[in-house]
A and B are shown apart, each in its own frame.
Chain A
Amino acid sequence: MTREPRQAFTLPPERVTLGARLGHFFYMIYAGLMSVIGWVAEPLQRWVSMKNMAYFFVLPNLIIFGVFVLFPMLLNIYYAFTGGTALFPQDRPFVGGQNFQQIFSCTNFLDPNSCREDRFWRGLYNTVFYVIFQVGGMVALSMLTAVVLNRSIRGRGFFRSVFFYPVLLSPVVIALIWKWILQRDGLLNALLVTLGMERVVFFLNANWAVFWVIFISIWAQMGFYTLILLAGLQSIPHDMYEAADMDGASRLQSFRGITLPLLMPTLLVVLVLSVIRAVQVFDQVWVLTGGGPGTATVYVVQYIYETAFANQIQQFGLASAASVILGLILLVLTLFQLRLGRQSDIA
């Protein structure tokens, strides 16, 4: 990261703008807060050595991290081997691998109907399908958009913001926006009727529901990945294209010969981030379809949520077992992609 030399920030005395006043106001609050913490931190430094102040700096983060991330991670594994409906671990009987046995009791793993926990397997297969098509479609579209935005076009900043805007919206808001458009008397059906076609009740048809779930999540997320890819494209030196142009390379050739290989590291980051995000698909779909019609849009995280919190009987052990499996899948995916990244570095 290169940084420009900073200039001292001084205000001409005759023009004190509202922004500067506000900035000053917030700085005073910041300085006040920091001075208060300083009353503890500065005597502390006289006590411990300067070097040991590092522990003071990491401690707050480490405590929260330990209590709310690290400890739960270990506890989760223990939970997966306990049964019953009690929440606290001391009240939960140890049942060994029973939860995993229950999940894996299938006569045919490819047919969720033959499984005891058929909803988990449906969720798993739906998630796999979703990951493949959502990530595939989104990376391709983000790439196309980034390439288009990287051309010398008018209003690049505007278009960049347009594609990015949905990224800021919450899953609930996104689900409601599209639910409104896709409903029986909605905008899209009005368009279909005007064009002389039949009205479709999209969320009563499994294929349509799956299609829209994937389409909407691409709509909502692609701006983020477009931005990252665009930054990657802009870091490719322009003279390489000029050199290729002079050698008589076509645009497609220079895309394949220059753009793709140099963009590979960025593309991998995008792939890792989007796959990990896609595996966790839940909230948007939950508001949009509730998992329906039938079980067409039930995903693994929804199964975990329902098993632990939404069902009449709260099966925390089963939910933990399912999330251990989900965690393992994420781990394998991450390691696989890291390996892929290393290979492409060597190549």
Chain B
Amino acid sequence: MAGVGEFLIRSRGRGRFDWSDIFTYLYLLLGTLIMFLPVLWLVLSSFKTQAGLLRFPPDLLPYDQRTVSVEGYDKPLPLYDVTMPDGTVRQLAQVRRVGLEGQMVDPAAPGEVIKVGIGDRTEVRELRLAWENYTDPLERFNFLVYLRNSIVVTVAATIITLLINSMAGFALAKYQFRGSDVIFVIIISTLMIPISVILVPVFLVITGIGWNNNLLGVIIPGAATPTGVFLLRQYMLTIPDELLDSARIDGASEWRVYWQLVMPLSAPALAVLAIFSVMWRWNDFLWPLIVLSRSELFTLQVGLASFQGELNTQWHYVLAMTVMTLLPITLVFALLQRFITTGIATTGMK
């Protein structure tokens, strides 16, 4: 306790502890709760059974009714605590329910059937994670196909984005050529044009090429992102020209100057763009929704959205699939969080 107290009272090194420090930590505590609790609640809920999800008020942790297998019955029977007429409490398994009466047997002596009013019994519950919420969708729905599509789109799009944007950034940063200013101005001026403004004509172009219902139609259009060109060009401007010239004197071709010298030196900016690209592509919804109409081509996001429409009553599956959708990006963040937060803060771009 002394440690906690000391920790709480510690302040800006002047030994003075005032209202603003209390406010600071209260704010951060409240903020952490509001930011994390919804996700935590999702994860906890995703491990509850369908029956468990229907309870109100909801349980904090995933409980499930305990079942026992009783001799003479095929299926495991649900277990209840039963208050007997003489006041004693026995644990009985329910065979079936008839109206307001439950027909119970004692798991230890399954011969005799005891009739109990449903008011006299309460469920025996235990903590159990309902992994079937996760495994069932894998068999019953196209979940793995969606996952594969999302991975294909994210990886391919990120590689293409990094390649062509770094090439363009390199050309705009390190060459003086006719039209370079015009190209740069055009690219910058479209920084603010979102795809939602040009939905119809891009859809036309995709249809014209024949990329409707083709993952290429999701991958390619967003690959030439003005943000990426801008970010990489600005970063490559800081690489001294003398370095490039000395490589040229040593006989390196322009292509080798690009991939063996400029690219490794631009690693921090490339990493930031890679993170953005993964985030954009993994989470993209509107564009795949328009391009893909055959369900075997859906990405996770589109699949998830269509699930929640179809499986309106089957929240246990929807929740588990939501967790699986946010898991990859959460793992990446957990591994790289310091790098991501500082990287985005220093480039300050989106």
Contacts and interface: CB of A to CB of B under 8 A. Distances in A.
B42 interface: yes
Contacts of B344: 224, 227-228
Interface string B55-91: 0111000000000000000000000000000000000
A326 B196 CA distance: 9
Interface in A245-285: 251, 266, 269, 273, 276, 280, 282-283
Nearest to A276: B192
Contacts of B304: 172-173, 176
B183 A69 contact: no
Interface string B328-347: 01100100011011001110
Interface stretch (A10-18, A100-108, A149-157): A149-157
A204 interface: no
Contact of A41 (B57, B223, B254, B285): B254
B210 interface: no
Interface string B245-260: 0001000011110111
A93 interface: no
Pick from A1, A68, A166, A189 the residue with the most CB of B within 10 Å: A68
Contact of B238 (A3, A181, A193, A326): A3
Contacts of B36: 162, 165
A244 interface: no
A72 B202 contact: yes
A217 interface: no
A344 interface: no
B205 interface: yes
A99 B284 CA distance: 30
A330 B193 contact: yes
Interface in B217-271: 220-224, 226, 229, 234-235, 238, 248, 253-256, 258-260, 265
B51 interface: no
A190 B319 CA distance: 19
Interface residues on A, range: 35 or more
A114 B265 CA distance: 60
A333 B20 CA distance: 37
A193 B199 contact: no
Nearest to A145: B31
Contacts of A178: 38
A319 to B, nearest CB: 5
A89 B204 contact: yes
B348 A148 contact: no
B286 interface: yes
B34 A219 contact: yes
A119 interface: no
B111 interface: no
Pick from A1, A64, A193 the residue with the most CB of B within 10 Å: A64
A61 B31 contact: no
Interface string A74-102: 01100100000001110000000000000
B122 interface: no
Nearest to B269: A1
Nearest to A232: B348
Contacts of A347: none
A157 B202 contact: no
B186 A70 contact: yes
Interface in B276-321: 279, 282-286, 290, 301, 304-305, 308, 315, 318-319
Interface string B24-40: 11011001101110110
A230 interface: yes
A109 interface: no
B333 to A, nearest CB: 5
A173 B192 contact: no
B350 A273 contact: yes
Interface stretch (B99-107, B113-121, B166-174): B166-174
A182 to B, nearest CB: 10
B57 to A, nearest CB: 4
B348 A231 contact: yes
Interface in B164-219: 164-165, 167-168, 170-172, 175-177, 180, 183, 186-187, 190, 192-194, 196-205, 207-208
Contacts of A37: 255
Contacts of B260: 34
Given A65-B224, A172-B304, A330-B197, A159 B28 contact: yes
Nearest to B10: A154
B285 A170 contact: yes
B133 interface: no
B165 A308 contact: no
A171 B36 CA distance: 16
Interface in A284-321: 287, 301, 304-305, 308-309, 316, 319-320
A334 interface: yes
12 contacts: A51-B177, A61-B224, A151-B20, A159-B28, A160-B341, A161-B337, A171-B283, A173-B301, A176-B308, A251-B20, A308-B200, A327-B193
The 9 A-B residue pairs whose C-beta atoms are closest, nearest first, are A170-B283, A57-B171, A72-B201, A54-B175, A61-B168, A41-B255, A190-B57, A231-B345, A75-B201
Interface of A: 1, 3, 6, 30-31, 34, 37-38, 41-42, 45, 50-55, 57-58, 60-62, 64-65, 67-73, 75-76, 79, 87-89, 144-145, 148, 151-154, 157, 159-166, 168-173, 176-181, 185-187, 189-190, 193-194, 219, 223-224, 227-228, 230-231, 251, 266, 269, 273, 276, 280, 282-283, 287, 301, 304-305, 308-309, 316, 319-320, 323, 326-327, 330-331, 334
